[in-house]
Every structure is written in C-alpha cells, then in structure tokens.
Amino acid sequence: MKKKSSNTLANGGVEGTNYQFSNSSTAYYFDSSFSHLKKIAEQKRSIIITDENIYEAHKKLFAGWNIIVVKPGEEYKVQLTVDTIIEQLIDFAADRQTTLIGVGGGVITDITGYVASVYMRGIPFGFVPTSLLGLIDASIGGKNGIDVGVYKNMVGTIRQPSFILHDLQLLDTLPQNEWENGFAEIIKHACIKDAAMFRQLEQNSVTAFQQDKTQLAELVKRNVEIKIKVVQEDEFEKGERRSLNYGHTLGHALENQYELSHGQAIAIGMAYASVISEELIGFGDANRVARLLSHYDLPTFAEFDKQKVFPVMRMDKKREKTDLNYILLEKIGKGVVKSVAVSQLEKIISELQ
Ligand SMILES: NC(=O)c1ccc[n+]([C@@H]2O[C@H](COP(=O)([O-])OP(=O)(O)OC[C@H]3O[C@@H](n4cnc5c(N)ncnc54)[C@H](O)[C@@H]3O)[C@@H](O)[C@H]2O)c1
Ligand SMILES: [Zn+2]
C-alpha cells in the first residue's frame, strides 16, 4: 500500500497537493495566501479558532469570518478552553457541515483538531499554521490534544485535517525566540533524515532565511514532506515515527524542570544524544551537530541537576522496563531507534557533565 501524493485542483481554482494517510487525505496549499482560504472553506459554514496574539496582529485578515479567540499559551491548552470553545460552537449553531479552522501555532492547531474530533463526534477541520514550529511540525500528522496538569498531550486523538494552508507572510509578526523553536525541529529533521538539508543549514542562518522568503518557503516545504513521509509510514507510532523523538527524551525531562523553551530543551537533548550515538554506535559527527545548534542560537551541553532530571527521564512514555527506546544517529541524515539501558544512558550523560 504505497501512499502517493497527487496534484488536485481544489475549490475556486486554488491548487493544492493531496497527501494520503491511512483513512483520509490532507490537501496542502504551500506558499499560499490567507486570502485564498475562502476558496477552500466556505466562510458561512466555517469557524476560525485563533489566539489573542494572532488576532491582534492580523485583525484585518479575519473580517467576514466567524471567529473564536482564546487566550495564548501552553497553559490554555486544557479542557477548560475546550469547554469554552464548545459553548461558543453551540452558540454559532455549528453542526456536522461546519468546518473548524485553527489559525495559530501548535497550541491552537492541537486544540482545534481535538475539538473538531469530539464535537458532535467529529466535524471537518483545517489549519493555517502561523508559527515556524506549527508549519513544519505541530500541524502535521493528525495528533491533537490537550494537557492535563503537568502531563503534556495526555488526552487526544489522531485525526488528519482536511486541508493545511501556508501563508508565510504571517511569520512577519512571529517573536524571534519562536523562530529558534522552529529551527530546533528543522535541525532535528536534518539530523535524522536529510544530510543535504543539514549542509544547507550549515551554510545559512536564521537571518538568512528570514530575509529570503523563497528559500524559507522551500525549507518549510522540505520539512513538511519529511514529517509527512514519516507519518505516512507509521501513522500510529509503532516504529518509524519514533525517530521524530530525537533529542526529545532528555529534552522533555529538562523542559519539565527548567525554564526552557521546547526548542532549547530538545537542542540540549540532541547534543547529548549525538555524543551517546558516538559512544554506542560509532557516530562521527557530534561536534558538527553541536556547532549547527549553536549557529542557530540554541544551547548544547548545558549543565543540569541529574538528581532532578534522571527520574523524569526514566518515566518517559517510550520506556520498556529498564530500557528506553532512544533515538541515535548512525550518521548525519540517518536516525535509528535503539533500545538502551537507562543505567548506560545515565552513565554517558554523567561523564559529559
Ligand atoms: N500535534 C503534534 O504533532 C505536535 C508536534 C509538535 C508540537 N506540538 C504542540 O505545539 C505546541 C507548540 O507550538 P508553538 O511553538 O507554535 O506554540 P504556540 O501555539 O504557543 O505559539 C507560540 C507563541 O507565538 C504566538 N504566535 C504564533 N504565531 C504567531 C504569529 N504569526 N504572530 C505573532 N505571534 C504568533 C502565539 O500566540 C504564542 O504566544 C505545543 O503545545 C506542542 O505540544 C504538537
Ligand atoms: Zn518537538
């Protein structure tokens, strides 16, 4: 069952590319414009969900759309926000013919996909990702959900959006630190899947991509295709999709304990994982990985309190008894999933401190 993508002519002559998943497909409108949205989704039958920051920054774009605006930030990716959205959907008399459109970063697309999956047992939805991380990571793959207390993404569903529209102009208002978060995941994709992109990143910089929209659009598309391919091969995370967790096991443990952004936390995780790869499977380029992370203003071998971090790492979702499924690099562009004893991981990390 090989899943191919095909070009389609969607509504109103706006061209999209269809990507097929197990039981649904998503139409992608790369390097498009928000103004095309009404050709893809009927305004009267659609409701946009966004956050206050994006609404304030792009008010004019939303004229003519039904809209629900929620508070920004991870702390609002919770059931209470879901409830307030659902109450508003009822006020709008939303039904199974209604399309929900999440216009925002990963918090908004995660909530929108989740609400659309549970409201009336499921209504159609699409995304306009507005952060770099949203464009190349969070909006892709159909995982959506909410946090419960300290447990991130504890409740959710896997369901693919029917369309994703990209408008890179929206990035003009994205705060600088959010760019770094996005580049951390881009570097992750390069490390595990794409050596040529790794070299391209070495030769460029955040500023270079910000100034060259054509190059940025190509980079975004290339990263979307990397993630889509991994998801297509393993939509329900039985094997291959785990490679997307490169840098994330230690990263998540650090993110929980320290005031780090997700990008900073996984950057440290990737730096350590690259050295662990040298020790365990003969990877030869840990220095290059660290250098690239620094070049994109991301941290590498930050010191941390092992007593605080190791216990959290041991609780990782990808744990099996005393081993962790750790993502290692065989070479730049080739990530592999290896079962490694927790004690061995902790020993190597401790020696580096
Ligand atoms: N579903 C998945 O597979 C998946 C994958 C990775 C991450 N995620 C989730 O994504 C979330 C992180 O996403 P994120 O980094 O986009 O965070 P986010 O949605 O919180 O956005 C970051 C900040 O930037 C602001 N913002 C976004 N776009 C803007 C724009 N164009 N102009 C001005 N401000 C803008 C937001 O209001 C917010 O304050 C996390 O909740 C994470 O769990 C999900
Ligand atoms: Zn991540």
> Does the structure show a pLDDT above 50 at 1?
no
CA of 282 from ligand 1 middle (Å) equals: 35
Pocket test for ligand 1, best of 53, 160, 264 (most atoms within 8 A of CB): 53
Per-residue pLDDT of 74-111, as tens digits, reads 999 999 999 999 999 999 999 999 999 999 999 999 99
> Does the structure show a pLDDT above 70 at 215?
yes
- pLDDT of 311: 87
**CB of residue 105 inside a 6 A radius of ligand 1:** yes
Q: Which residue carries 């693919």 as its tokens?
A: 160
Q: Is 295 a catalytic residue?
A: no
> Does the structure show a pLDDT above 80 at 52?
yes
Q: Give the pLDDT mean for 308-315.
A: 86
Per-residue pLDDT of 53-74, as tens digits, reads 999 999 999 999 999 999 999 9
pLDDT band at 2 (very low <50, low <70, confident <90, very high): very low
pLDDT band at 241 (very low <50, low <70, confident <90, very high): confident
> Rounded to an integer, what is the distance from CA 133 to the centroid of its chain?
5
Classify the phi-psi angles of 42: left when phi > 0, otherwise alpha if psi is within -120 to 50, otherwise beta.
beta
**CB of residue 37 inside a 6 A radius of ligand 1:** no
Residue nearest to atom 4 of ligand 1 (CA): 138
> Does the structure show a pLDDT above 60 at 38?
yes
Q: Is 121 a catalytic residue?
A: yes
Residue 323 dihedral angles phi and psi, to the nearest 5°? -110, 150
Q: Give the pLDDT mean for 219-227.
A: 97
- pLDDT of 11: 57
Distances in whole angstroms, Cα of residue 161 to Cα of each of 21, 54, 168, 203, 320:
11, 20, 19, 34, 32
* End-to-end Cα distance, the chain: 47
Pocket test for ligand 1, best of 21, 59, 69, 107 (most atoms within 8 A of CB): 107
- pLDDT of 152: 84
Max CA distance (Å), the chain: 61
Per-residue pLDDT of 117-140, as tens digits, reads 999 999 999 999 999 999 999 999
- pLDDT of 10: 52
Q: Give the pLDDT mean for 291-312.
A: 93
> Does the structure show a pLDDT above 80 at 319?
no
Q: Is 204 a catalytic residue?
A: no
Give the nearest ligand 1 atom to 129 CA: 28
Q: Give the pLDDT mean for 30-49.
A: 97
Pocket test for ligand 1, best of 76, 130, 132 (most atoms within 8 A of CB): 130
> Does the structure show a pLDDT above 90 at 256?
no
Average model confidence (pLDDT) for the chain?
Answer: 93
CA geometry: angle 107, 111, 116, nearest 5 deg: 150
Per-residue pLDDT of 129-178, as tens digits, reads 999 999 999 999 999 999 998 788 899 999 999 999 999 999 999 999 99
pLDDT band at 315 (very low <50, low <70, confident <90, very high): confident
- pLDDT of 13: 63
Q: What is the dihedral of CA 311, 314, 316, 104, to 10 degrees?
A: 30
Q: Catalytic residue, from 143, 166, 189, 193: name it.
A: 143
Rounded distance between C-alpha atoms, residue 156 and residue 120, angstroms: 16
Q: Give the pLDDT mean for 273-295.
A: 97
- pLDDT of 6: 55
